[in-house]
Amino acid sequence: MDAGLRNYFVVTAGYWAFTVTDGAIRMLVVLYFHLLGYSPFEVAMLFLFYEFFGVVTNLVGGWLGARIGLNLTMHIGMAMQVVALLMLTVPDAWLSVPYVMAAQALSGVAKDLNKMSAKASVKAMVGMAGESTLFRYVALLTGSKNALKGAGFFVGAALLDQIGFRNTLYVLAGLLALVLAVTAAVLPRGVGKTSARAKFTQVFSNRAEINWLAGARFFLFGARDVWFVVGLPVFLYSVLGWSFTQVGSFFAAWVIGYGLVQAAAPRLVRRSHDGAGPSGTTARSWAFALAVLPAAMAIGLHQGWDAQWVVVGGMVLFAVVFAINSAVHSYLILAYSDFDKVSMNVGFYYMANAGGRLAGTVLSGWAYQTHGLIACLWWSTAFVAAAALLSLRLPNVTPPGAGRQQPSVEAIG
């Protein structure tokens, strides 16, 4: 097997393992702290530092990856996640809001170091194979990651029911530590490390298309998390009367389906693009289509339609259209990036992603507590509409060799 592809599969496997723990810890925190009597807004606040430090991490992480190599930043992220999991195993009396926020801050840094490293590695490993191949591999990585995050939701909720909060955390920390040891032994050094000394000021992109894409990404992921993070799981548990396992299983099925659609996005989108990668036109078309769905759900709930059917049916449709939006964005950031700046551009782009998640998380707790799920859905509609409008400025992709800088990334062993 080609060395680049072998390393791609190792990175993907490590990303999968990390993602299971990330999904599990999120579901554990939402459900367990709701059980302890935390209000929806207080639960949202537990994730405030998780998302805030994700913004900071992506800003710094892309520059750090260019300096020390993406495999090293990925392993630093895994080690930090192990520590974050173990921090939550203390007695309930210690689990104050500031303490849990600190643990979640560490987990947020870990998650975004890992994600930035894995996504940017794809460009370094298979980016010379062509735009269509790049779209296929980044969609596979992203889609499979989201499917595994869904599995993490299920694992977290099911183990919470079966073996309890702390035992679940011990199991997850042990498994991730094992994966860290294996991937550290297998991956070569220097993946994604640039031959020139990267300057921190280069993190802030001076390419208009990357800035517009980052803005669209902010609102796209804010639109999901404004109803997905706190409002929806609390609604399913408190209003519809679902059990922890039912909530976790449903979220797992949703994210797995979302991931499968994301992985299949190259086949779904290609029909209208003659086999080439998607363009700015693709991004804005799918964004406008997505904006219809949360608005329709809000109207249905307001009209008194059966809440269970509105929520379940709406989530299925939202998963499909959102997955294609996300896959197109994940491709475009790599396609717009020069090889020497890919880790910094991806870091800048995922800084915007984390900022959107931060805004969505805070709004999810506040809007649900003050006005219910319908308000969360209207916020989602407004955010998607903003993403669609920003996407109007996205151009088509410039093929490699047509005025684009060629790679000077160190050879991958």
Domains and CATH numbers, the chain: 3-189+207-393 (1.20.1250.20)
Who wins on pLDDT, 199 or 18? 18
Q: pLDDT-based confidence at 404, cuts 50/70/90?
A: very low
The residues near 184 (Cβ < 8 Å, ≥ 6 apart) are 75
Q: pLDDT-based confidence at 191, cuts 50/70/90?
A: low
> Per DSSP, what are the bridge partners of residue 194?
409
Q: pLDDT-based confidence at 402, cuts 50/70/90?
A: very low
Distance of CA 265 to CAs 106, 136, 139, 258, Å?
Answer: 32, 8, 7, 10
Who wins on pLDDT, 290 or 259? 290
Composition of the chain by helix, strand, coil, percent to 5: 80, 0, 20
CA distance 375 to 4: 47
What is the mean pLDDT of the segment spanning 252-280?
A: 71
Who wins on pLDDT, 254 or 64? 254
Q: Percentage of the chain surpassing pLDDT 70? A: 76
Mean residue pLDDT of the chain comes to 78
The two tokens of residue 68 are: 């020390």
CA distance 107 to 100: 10
Q: pLDDT-based confidence at 411, cuts 50/70/90?
A: very low
**Range with the lowest mean pLDDT among 79-88, 175-184, 188-197?**
188-197
pLDDT at residue 321, rounded to an integer:
92
Q: Percentage of the chain surpassing pLDDT 90? A: 18
CA distance 364 to 356: 12
CA distance 152 to 249: 10
